[in-house]
Structure formats: C-alpha cells, structure tokens
C-alpha cells in the first residue's frame, strides 16, 4: 500500500525516492512471464520522471503522468503521456483532463495490469502540491480511475505516493478514502 517512489532513476535516487518500486514491480512481472503490458497511471502532483526514464525504451510499459507543470522536478522526463496542469487547476478542469486521458491510456496501452499512484498531494492544502483539488475532487479522481479498471476487467495495484498536507490527518483521510473506494468498486458486497 505504500510506495509510489516515482522519482528514483535506474542509477540514482531523487526527491525522497531511493528505489523506483513501480518500475521494479512491472519489470519483475514481465521477467517472470506473468504479464507483458502494464499501464502506470501516476496522479501524484509531481511528474513521475524516474518511472518515465526507466521505462522509456519499454513499449510494453505505458507511463502516464498528470501533474503540476510548475512543480518538481524542474526537468521533466518524457512519459508516454504527460498532462501538465497550471497551478490552482481545481476539481473540474482536473477531472475533465483525466477522463480524456484515461480513454487514451486504455486504448494505447491495452494493459494487463494498471499500477495506480494515487498521490494525496494534488490536495488544496498540501505543502508541496499546487493543483488545489478538494477532498471530493480527489475521491472522484480515485473513483474514475478504479471504475475504468473495473469496467475493462484490468487488475490494479495501488501505491499511495505523495502527501504532505499541513494537517497530517488530511493526508491520512485522502489515502484511506482511496482504499475504501477501491474496496467499494472491486468488492461492493463488503460495503
């Protein structure tokens, strides 16, 4: 449930990230012959530059990052699909961009697995974020991603990624809501 250390590169760590758990997991699953095509849906407020650079030459790993244009890292890597948003984007523009992007991700990647980095840092009161999403906007984001996976019968692994709210309880609440949303979508009988 933790992880989402998407800034780590093959040869060095960066931005609080030592090892890139997303890239390692995808490559191990490929090496063991368990699957070939993976889509990384990275919705941390910061671009997944390490994941993009590690997976750049692997056509079977599709990297998608939607992040703040003016946020860390200063030098962005090229994901298969990058959407850069202006500061203070807010819920409606964010969710509109995400809906369009998810269609592209599933069409282009045809994934057998989605690795979803559900960062809490797009939140409006996050110290390192800038996108100004509300609790409701973040919940709608999670529901949109997870429902898209469910509708296409694609399994999903969730990493929490970043979260630096001024009030730690807000970060915890956002991450908990992600888990509860996944539970509701993938096993509605559990409530």
**Cα–Cα distance measured from residue 165 to residue 122, given in angstroms and rounded to the nearest whole number:** 10
Which pLDDT belongs to residue 172?
95
Q: Residue 147 has what pLDDT?
A: 96
The pLDDT-based confidence of 16 (bands split at 50, 70, 90) is confident
- DSSP character for 123? B
- Report whether pLDDT(2) > 80: no
- pLDDT number for residue 145: 98
Please provide the average confidence, as pLDDT, over all residues in the chain: 91
- What pLDDT does residue 73 have? 74
Domains and CATH numbers, the chain: 25-186 (3.40.800.20)
The token pair at 38 is: 């993976």
pLDDT of residue 75: 85
CA distances (Å), 98 to each of 35, 42, 94, 127, 187, in order? 26, 11, 6, 23, 24
46 is catalytic: no
Verify cis geometry, omega within 30 degrees of 0, for the bond prior to 161: no
The model's pLDDT over 88-110, given as tens digits with 9 standing for 90+, comes to 999 999 999 999 999 999 999 99
Q: So what's the pLDDT on residue 3? A: 83
Q: Which of 7, 46, 124, 175 is catalytic?
A: 7
Q: How far apart are CA 183 and CA 28, in angstroms?
A: 26
What confidence score (pLDDT) does residue 62 get?
Answer: 97
- 52 contact partners, CB below 8 Å, separation of at least 6: 63, 65, 76, 77, 78, 79, 80, 82
Residue 142 has pLDDT above 60, yes or no: yes
């Amino acid at each position: 449930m933790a992880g989402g250390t998407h800034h780590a590169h093959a040869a060095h760590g960066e931005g609080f990230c030592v090892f890139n758990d997303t890239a390692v997991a995808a490559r191990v699953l490929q090496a063991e012959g368990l699957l070939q095509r993976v889509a990384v849906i990275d919705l941390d407020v910061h671009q997944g530059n390490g994941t993009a650079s590690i997976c750049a030459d692997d056509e079977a790993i599709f990297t998608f990052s939607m992040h703040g244009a003016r946020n860390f890292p200063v030098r962005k890597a090229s994901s298969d699909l990058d959407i850069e948003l202006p500061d203070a984007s807010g819920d409606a523009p964010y969710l509109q961009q995400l809906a369009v992007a998810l269609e592209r991700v599933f069409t282009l990647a045809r994934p057998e697995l989605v690795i979803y980095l559900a960062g809490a840092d797009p939140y409006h009161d996050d110290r390192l974020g800038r996108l100004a999403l509300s609790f409701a906007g973040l919940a709608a984001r999670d529901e949109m991603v997870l429902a898209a996976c469910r509708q296409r019968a694609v399994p999903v692994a969730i990493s929490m990624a970043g979260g630096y709210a001024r009030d730690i309880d807000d970060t915890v609440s956002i991450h908990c809501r992600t888990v509860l949303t996944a539970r509701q979508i993938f096993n509605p009988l559990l409530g």
